[in-house]
Amino acid sequence: MPQKSHQDTSSRILRAWLIVALVSAVMGGLVTVYNPLPGVGLLLLAFVAGWRAWRNRTPLPRSPGLTLDQDPAPGALGGEVGGWLRPPGDALAITDATVTLACIRLCERQRSQIIEHQRECVWQETRLLFADPESGALGFCFTPPGHLSPTEPSPELDATDWHCHHYWTLTVDGVVGGQAASQGFRLIVKPGLQTMEVPLTQEQRQSNESVMEDASSASARLRQRLTLSGDDQGLVVDDPAGPDSWSARFGMAGALLLIIAGMALEGFGAWVLLLAGLGLGGRSLYRHGQSLHFELQGRDVRVITRWFGRPLFARQGQLASRDQLTLKPAALSGLSDLLLQDGKRRLLLARRLPDDEAELLRDLLVERIPPE
């Protein structure tokens, strides 16, 4: 099955915040007429949700305006699929550029006036672009396996059976003028043993390396989950705020139910339910927006806790041995939190990691502890 993209996840989170804002605003307006206090609370929740929706909006990446010279035309399975991407003369340079070649299997059928689609990524690979110093063009070169299906024409559709065909895409991602940029192309790939007309130089072949690791390895999964940087003497790790999860949804739903029940009742029990709902909602919102940033330099560890990207507080500790790094099972998830035990203080370093990834991160930290 195709994997969910980050843009799809951001869109779902945006819709969730908009729904929470709309429902809270309507309920807050109605409740304020009868009981101002919970009504103001709901209106405040609507304001926070609307602000989060505004912060979570995903701007569309700009197009770098590249043109494609495919070489060899039209590409070859069992050989090389390569070419040159030429920027406009007055365009800003694209940096941190990668290119992804993908083979997509598309199945379709037509029911009445609606065409149903099912897409699956059969194969893909991401490589770094290399430059041609003479023309300024950016080059790419892939060697896809020969057993893959070439580009196929779209079949005739009917209402009874699914009809499938394959097509190939080329996607360029990078940064232009400080903003994310992305541009896609459709390629015609045929069987054959063609190679690029001008062989790559040794420097270009080194620049044309793959940037994708084995997705099943703990190292690859850890680097997808966390942002790691550093050298032999130090390490910097960013544990970003997690995407929308079922625990966050259940927490917010439970908080909303408790608040509604509290507004429906009277007396001391109503206040208990309202406070419990506000507490549960606040905790779920805090856990949803929490992110961690920690730095290891020598034996010194500094952890900064952020909420929706804004620093809240920082804590410091000392790491001298592996025994100080412990794993604490996260509730109802089968995952573990990585903690640093420094005397009576416990510093949270990373959250909700599978055991193999947590062990790998612990090894990376221990490797950088200087000898006594």
Helix (H) or strand (E) holding 336, with range, is strand 336-342
* Beta partners for residue 174, in sequence order: 181
Instruction: Give the strands of the sheet with 300-307, arranged side by side.
Output: 227-230, 234-239, 290-297, 300-307, 310-318
Task: Please report how the helices 268-289 and 246-264 are oriented relative to each other, as an axis angle in degrees rounded to 10.
Answer: 160
Looking at the fold, whether 207 and 218 belong to one and the same domain comes out as no
- Which is nearest to 137 in space by CA: 64, 208, 69, 205? 69
Instruction: Answer yes or no: do 191 and 292 share one domain.
Output: no
278 DSSP assignment: H
In order along its 372 residues, the chain shows pLDDT tens digits of 333 334 444 556 667 777 777 877 887 777 777 777 777 777 887 888 777 777 666 554 556 778 887 766 666 777 788 888 888 776 667 777 888 888 888 888 877 767 777 778 888 888 888 888 777 788 888 888 888 888 888 888 777 788 889 999 888 888 776 667 778 888 888 887 766 666 667 776 666 665 544 444 566 677 777 877 765 567 888 888 665 566 667 777 788 888 887 777 777 777 888 888 888 888 887 877 788 888 888 888 999 888 877 888 888 999 888 888 888 887 655 688 889 988 888 888 888 888 878 888 888 888 778 776
Same domain flag for 271 and 181: no
Side by side, the strands of the sheet bearing 81-86 are: 67-70, 81-86, 138-142, 130-131
Verify that 54 and 115 share a domain, yes or no: no
Task: Write down the pLDDT at residue 72.
Answer: 65
Query: Between β-strands 234-239 and 114-128, what pairing exists: parallel, antiparallel or unpaired?
Result: unpaired
Asked whether the CA dihedral 292, 293, 297, 300 is positive or negative, the reply is: negative
The answer on 280 and 339 residing in a single domain is: yes
Residue 226 structure tokens: 């966390």
Mark 53-78 as b/e (b = at least 16 C-beta within 10 Å).
beebeeeebeebebebebbbeebbbe
Show the domain range for 190. 67-212
Residue where one domain finishes, among candidates 10, 26, 58 = 58
Q: Are both 188 and 94 inside the same structural domain?
A: yes
- Number of structural domains (the chain) is 3
Contacts of residue 313, defined as CB under 8 A and 6 or more positions apart, other chains included, come to: 304, 305
Single-letter amino acid code for the residue at 89: G
Q: Could you give the CA distance from residue 89 to residue 257 in angstroms, rounded to a whole number?
A: 59
Ranges assigned E (strand) in 208-277: 227-230, 234-239
Return all residues near 165 (Cβ < 8 A) that are at least 6 apart: 105, 106, 152, 153, 154, 155
Q: Which residues fall within 8 angstroms of residue 207, CB to CB, at 6 or more apart?
A: 128, 129, 130, 131
Same domain flag for 232 and 348: yes
- Kindly state whether residues 145 and 245 are assigned to the same domain: no
Give the Cα separation of 351 and 18 in Å (integer): 27
What do you get for the CA distance between the two ends of the chain, in Å? Answer: 50
Q: Are 34 and 86 found together in one domain?
A: no
Interacting residues of 83 by C-beta distance below 8 A, sequence separation 6+: 68, 69, 70, 71, 75, 139, 140
**What is the pLDDT at residue 2?**
35
Cβ atoms of residues 128 and 140 within 8 Å: no
Cα–Cα distances (Å) from 372 to 19, 229, 297, 299, 369, in that order, read 56, 24, 15, 10, 9
Query: Looking at 212, 245, 262, which one is the last position of a domain?
Result: 212
Asked if the peptide bond before residue 2 counts as cis, ω within 30 degrees of 0, the response is: no
Please tell me whether residues 144 and 271 are part of one structural domain.
no
44's CB contacts (< 8 A; 6+ apart) are none
Shared domain for 48 and 192, answered yes or no, is no
Confidence at residue 215, expressed as pLDDT on a 0 to 100 scale? 40
Q: Which residues contact 188 (CB under 8 A, 6 or more apart)?
A: 74, 75, 151, 168
Domain termination residue (choose one: 212, 246, 265): 212
Q: Are residues 121 and 2 located together in one domain of the fold?
A: no
